[in-house]
Chain A
Amino acid sequence: MDIDLKILRYDPESDRKGHWEYYTVEADPEERILDLLHKIKWFEDGTLSFRRSCAHGVCGSDAMVINGENMLACQVLVKEVSNPITIEPIRGLPVVKDLIVDMDPFFDSYKKIMPYLINENEPGERERLQSPEDRDKIEDTTKCILCAACTTSCPVFWTADSYIGPAAIVNAHRFIYDSRDEGSKQRLEILKDVNGAFRCRTAFNCTSACPRGIQVTKAIEDVKRETLLNN
């Protein structure tokens, strides 16, 4: 079947602002949106630029806005979206070219929350013990692939890019709730900041945007509660 695509293009070397370009490609209903983008790039217009790698939703490269919603292009099939398909870069981060945005501010926020295990005690020769119940507390938030679909779906982030954003808070949650970690106090202090967790207005966009099904808003609420308890 023929699929029509409308893609927001921007070439910093020749365009002053973004413009729409229209393509028609033949596709099976089972194909991924990423496959359609590849068909255009490989057989029609090699200038179309986007990030991708694993092509099955685990590397987090190809978050984009598809028919108005944040998704991974490799995780959505043609038959799941209505034709024509509109594709835009994720919002709130500077567009570099076509569907590629500058991810550095996103990773900078991630690095701010000290995303690593903090525990000064000598762990000994064998593994630290952790009960299955304790391990379960971080099951959801350890799934994060840092694709930025959540952060760039957040209306607060769109208007104030100083907001640390859902993804950073999810990764803080992953350590705050890890029974082996002892850095919660420091992280909660960071998240108490004016640009921290309390900027969240529980719009739930992040939860619907997460391609890994993480309960992002719930994680943010957990962190807010811990912040209050920590005071």
Chain B
Amino acid sequence: MKIIKHSFDGVIVGAGGAGLRAAIEAAPHMKLAVITKLYPTRSHTGAAQGGMSAALANVEEDNWNWHAFDTVKGSDYLADQPAVDILCKEAIDAVIELEHWGLPFSRLENGKIAQRRFGGHTVKEGEAPAFRACYAADRTGHMILQTLYQKCVSMGVEFFDEFQVLDIKIEDGVCKGVIAFELSTGDIHIFETRAVTFATGGFGKIFKVSSNAHSLTGDGPGILYQKGIPLEDMEFYQFHPTGIYRLGILLSEAARGEGGILRNKDGERFMERYAPSIKDLAPRDMVSRAIATEISKGNGAGPQNDYVYLDLTHLGAETINKKLPDITDFVRTYVKIEPINEPIPVQPTAHYAMGGIPTDVNGRVLSDEKNTILPGVYAAGEAACVSVHGANRLGTNSLLDIMVFGKRAGQSMLEYVSKTKASSISDSSSDDLVKKINNLIEKEHTDEFSVGRIRNDLQESMEKNTKIFRTEETLSEQTKILEDLRERYENVTIFDKGKVFNTELMETIELDYLLDMSESTVASALARKESRGAHSRQDFPERDDAEWMKHSFAFKNGNSATLRYKDVELGKYEPMERTY
């Protein structure tokens, strides 16, 4: 394999919403490279559906403080309130900016951006559901991704498409560059740079049933975790209530925002019992738990009583076709039923990591629980944990997060680059990686240690033991399984020995990150002896504010994690009981 060296002021890893937004900020003022293992337009931001919230008040009175209240309450009071204030205040400009760049938002009769209801968003601190989510039919993420990419094309941003970043070089606590693998040739590229932003997205592929793309394997968090950088709040993983049964394909909360109703096998609107005031529009953690509870009580539908129905039949063909065209097409394509006439079988699906690489509100990566900044390294989007989502993210706040904190990460890169001098990276800096790859390729292939089998066992066991409800017993069981899987991974072998598009090799390296994500998730979940947001411990069913108003920081320690903690930054909203 050839080794090729490049020199840039800044590098962004990942070309979804957060990476592209950071690029738009940084590119005009520095020599910038955006590196993505896909083509930018294949990024998973494009799969986001329902909307992006901002208190534009286009439909009714609204106020960013109410948005902040909802976000904090939705987070089960684990979000850092100063960061939430930034998110909700800057949301308004973030939406307007996208419109100015050409995003084709759906419109109201008066020509303004249309807004719809979404789970957990209310007016006047809980009074009634709010029309806050700005949307483009049910393909808002697609339009955001396209618009940001189009903006980058117009600016001449330099992309390295289908290059997979596999290592970061940090010397004496300072960033020196990243090492990438060019998929089409198998060549190694050393990117000398003093500023790197990780915007690699989530890691839903640790679970079997997930709304996530195959590419969402926690690459950015994994690379940093292996270098001793902690991961924050990993026990908080969101399960979206309405994935298509068995496939996990997302059916947006917008379906319920437009009036869709969840029903059990008897046709009962069971959310009335769990969230009497906002019912089907309760936050995702509560709705997913309600579904899991209905199923465990035998109220699930189907031959195995293991799903519930999302009922849109009362909405009428016009609303469905106009406002929910994509998701109802998914139902037609994959379930072969007509959602205008029939209710849709759904089950919770692994969806979003609230946790990730710890950052401050400017996207600067923190290397410990004492807020020590790692110079030159930034993170944004799902890969990062600011934390604005706390223990449970509200729908629409992820598209907002990528825009607000992607921009801030880009600004931080700029500021850092303008204040520091270029430093050099040695030609031997890719040696470890080359050795690792050669070792993998040279080992003789055996079926037992194939990436497919190990990953399959990982996903099935994580699904079984760590999904919506957890206990000491299931988490301990999973700890043992992970030890065994890690041991098998040490012996992993690959069949493909070629250089060109060796995607099996890349999947093998991604599996290492998936194991890291799983190990840190399980260790953090085992340690947190309370239930908060998406983390539900049946053996500790109550939220414990006296003991647990703190963020977890998991540091890699062999095949497990050492945990340290940081207090939540509070603000004007006092923690209260979370009822809806």
Residue A57 at the B interface, CB < 8 A? Answer: yes
**Which residue of chain B has the shortest Cβ distance to A114 in the bound complex?**
B154
Contact for B38 among A32, A61, A123, CB less than 8 A = A61
Q: Is A178 a contact of B104 with CB atoms below 8 Å?
A: yes
Q: Is A12 a contact of B500 with CB atoms below 8 Å?
A: yes
Residue A201 at the B interface, CB < 8 A? Answer: no
- Per the 8 Å Cβ criterion, residues 126-146 of A in contact with B are 126-132, 134-135, 138-139, 142-143, 145-146
In this complex, which of A56, A132, A180 has the most chain B Cβ atoms within 10 angstroms of its Cβ? A56
Contact for B139 among A52, A143, A146, CB less than 8 A = A143
Q: Is A54 a contact of B46 with CB atoms below 8 Å?
A: yes
Residue A230 at the B interface, CB < 8 A? Answer: no
Q: Is B146 a contact of A135 with CB atoms below 8 Å?
A: no
Contact for A59 among B46, B150, B445, CB less than 8 A = B46
Q: Is A59 a contact of B452 with CB atoms below 8 Å?
A: no
Select the stretch in A18-26, A41-49, A153-161, A189-197 that faces chain B: A41-49
Taking the closest CB of chain B, its distance from the CB of A44, in whole angstroms, is 9
Residue B495 at the A interface, CB < 8 A? Answer: yes
Q: Is A115 a contact of B330 with CB atoms below 8 Å?
A: no
C-alpha spacing A47/B494, complex, angstroms: 9
Residue B137 at the A interface, CB < 8 A? Answer: yes
C-alpha spacing A11/B453, complex, angstroms: 25
The interface residues of chain B lying within 8 Å CB-to-CB of A180 are 102
Taking the closest CB of chain B, its distance from the CB of A48, in whole angstroms, is 9
Q: If the complex has contacts A123-B100, A127-B105, A180-B102, are A96 and B500 also in contact, measured as CB distance less than 8 A?
A: yes
Q: Is A116 a contact of B143 with CB atoms below 8 Å?
A: no
Taking the closest CB of chain B, its distance from the CB of A102, in whole angstroms, is 8
Q: Is B146 a contact of A59 with CB atoms below 8 Å?
A: no
Residue B488 at the A interface, CB < 8 A? Answer: no
Q: Would you give the 0/1 interface string for B321-349, flagging 1 where the beta carbon is closer than 8 Å to chain A?
A: 00000100110011010000000000000
Q: Is A54 a contact of B213 with CB atoms below 8 Å?
A: yes
Taking the closest CB of chain B, its distance from the CB of A9, in whole angstroms, is 12
C-alpha spacing A145/B100, complex, angstroms: 21
Q: Is A116 a contact of B504 with CB atoms below 8 Å?
A: no
Residue A81 at the B interface, CB < 8 A? Answer: no
Q: Is B330 a contact of A57 with CB atoms below 8 Å?
A: yes
**Which residue of chain A has the shortest Cβ distance to B95 in the bound complex?**
A127
Residue A36 at the B interface, CB < 8 A? Answer: no
Residue B107 at the A interface, CB < 8 A? Answer: yes
Q: Is B105 a contact of A139 with CB atoms below 8 Å?
A: no
Residue A77 at the B interface, CB < 8 A? Answer: yes
C-alpha spacing A54/B215, complex, angstroms: 8
Size bracket of the B interface: 35 or more
**Which residue of chain B has the shortest Cβ distance to A129 in the bound complex?**
B111
C-alpha spacing A164/B66, complex, angstroms: 49
Residue A120 at the B interface, CB < 8 A? Answer: no
- Per the 8 Å Cβ criterion, residues 88-147 of A in contact with B are 96-98, 100, 103, 107, 111, 114-117, 123, 125-132, 134-135, 138-139, 142-143, 145-146
The interface residues of chain A lying within 8 Å CB-to-CB of B498 are 11, 13-14, 47, 97
Residue B101 at the A interface, CB < 8 A? Answer: yes
Residue B44 at the A interface, CB < 8 A? Answer: yes
Residue A58 at the B interface, CB < 8 A? Answer: yes
Residue B483 at the A interface, CB < 8 A? Answer: no
**Which residue of chain B has the shortest Cβ distance to A76 in the bound complex?**
B333
The interface residues of chain A lying within 8 Å CB-to-CB of B330 are 56-57
Q: Is B47 a contact of A58 with CB atoms below 8 Å?
A: yes
Contact for B214 among A30, A52, A77, CB less than 8 A = A52
The interface residues of chain B lying within 8 Å CB-to-CB of A11 are 498, 500
- Per the 8 Å Cβ criterion, residues 202-220 of A in contact with B are 213
Residue A181 at the B interface, CB < 8 A? Answer: yes
Q: Is B44 a contact of A59 with CB atoms below 8 Å?
A: yes
Contact for A146 among B41, B184, B499, B500, CB less than 8 A = B41
C-alpha spacing A32/B248, complex, angstroms: 13
Q: Would you give the 0/1 interface string for B86-118, flagging 1 where the beta carbon is closer than 8 Å to chain A?
A: 000000000110011110111111111100000
Q: Is B496 a contact of A47 with CB atoms below 8 Å?
A: yes
Q: If the complex has contacts A43-B452, A53-B214, A125-B96, are A130 and B107 also in contact, measured as CB distance less than 8 A?
A: yes
The interface residues of chain B lying within 8 Å CB-to-CB of A46 are 445, 450-452, 494-496, 504
Q: Is A129 a contact of B110 with CB atoms below 8 Å?
A: yes
Taking the closest CB of chain B, its distance from the CB of A193, in whole angstroms, is 19
Which of A's residues lie within 8 Å of B, judged by CB?
11-14, 30, 32, 38, 41-43, 45-47, 49-61, 75, 77, 96-98, 100, 103, 107, 111, 114-117, 123, 125-132, 134-135, 138-139, 142-143, 145-146, 175, 178, 180-181, 213
Which of B's residues lie within 8 Å of A, judged by CB?
38-39, 41-44, 46-47, 95-96, 99-102, 104-113, 136-137, 139, 142-143, 146, 150-151, 153-154, 184, 213-215, 247, 249, 326, 329-330, 333-334, 336, 445, 447, 450-453, 455-456, 494-496, 498-504
7 chain-A/chain-B pairs, Cβ below 8 angstroms: A13-B498, A13-B500, A51-B42, A58-B142, A135-B105, A143-B139, A181-B102
Name 4 extra pairs, CB < 8 A, besides A12-B500, A32-B334, A127-B112.
A54-B44, A59-B38, A100-B501, A117-B150
